[in-house]
């Protein structure tokens, strides 16, 4: 399932409590997943009978950003969960915080 992302769009996992918001959209349609299954827009029904894929169960911590340099996508986790975010089979990397300038 391919999604066209827009800034401010909110998605949730179909297999756990993870919720995310798009900070920077992808350059084109992507296969955004959480826990190994496609995410769904908040306010829509999730498919039933799905379970967390153990290969995508490292978790998504609240307040952390995730980015993909190839697509330009950047997401913010607004509700943490046990599933890992991915584009297809590629797990998204957690974005590092920018170091603050030295006050020496």
Q: Residue ranges of the alpha helices (H) in the chain?
A: none
Which string of DSSP letters, residue by residue, matches 32-59?
A: EEETTEE-EETTSPPPSS----GGG-S-
- At residue 104, the pLDDT reads 64
Dihedral, 51, 11, 38, 18 alpha carbons, nearest 10: -30
Query: Could you read off the pLDDT tens digit of each residue along the chain, which spans 104 residues?
Result: 688 889 999 999 999 999 999 999 999 999 999 999 999 999 999 889 999 999 999 999 999 999 999 999 999 999 999 999 999 999 999 988 777 787 76
pTM over the 0.75 mark: yes
Tokens matching residue 95 = 């974005």
- At residue 1, the pLDDT reads 65
Check if the beta carbon of residue 37 is closer than 8 Å to that of residue 31.
no
Check if the beta carbon of residue 30 is closer than 8 Å to that of residue 75.
no
- At residue 101, the pLDDT reads 82
- At residue 3, the pLDDT reads 84
Distance CA 61, CA 76 (A): 10
- At residue 9, the pLDDT reads 96
- At residue 23, the pLDDT reads 96
- At residue 103, the pLDDT reads 75
């Amino acid at each position: 399932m391919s999604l066209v992302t827009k800034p401010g769009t909110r998605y949730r996992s179909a297999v756990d409590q993870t919720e995310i918001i798009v900070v920077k959209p992808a350059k084109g349609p992507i296969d955004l997943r959480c826990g190994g299954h496609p995410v769904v827009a908040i306010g829509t029904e999730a498919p039933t009978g799905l379970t967390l894929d153990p290969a995508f169960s490292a978790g998504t911590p609240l307040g952390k950003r995730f980015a993909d340099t190839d697509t330009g996508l950047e997401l913010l986790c607004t509700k943490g969960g046990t599933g890992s975010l991915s584009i297809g089979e590629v797990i998204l990397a957690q974005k590092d915080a920018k170091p603050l300038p030295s006050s020496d």
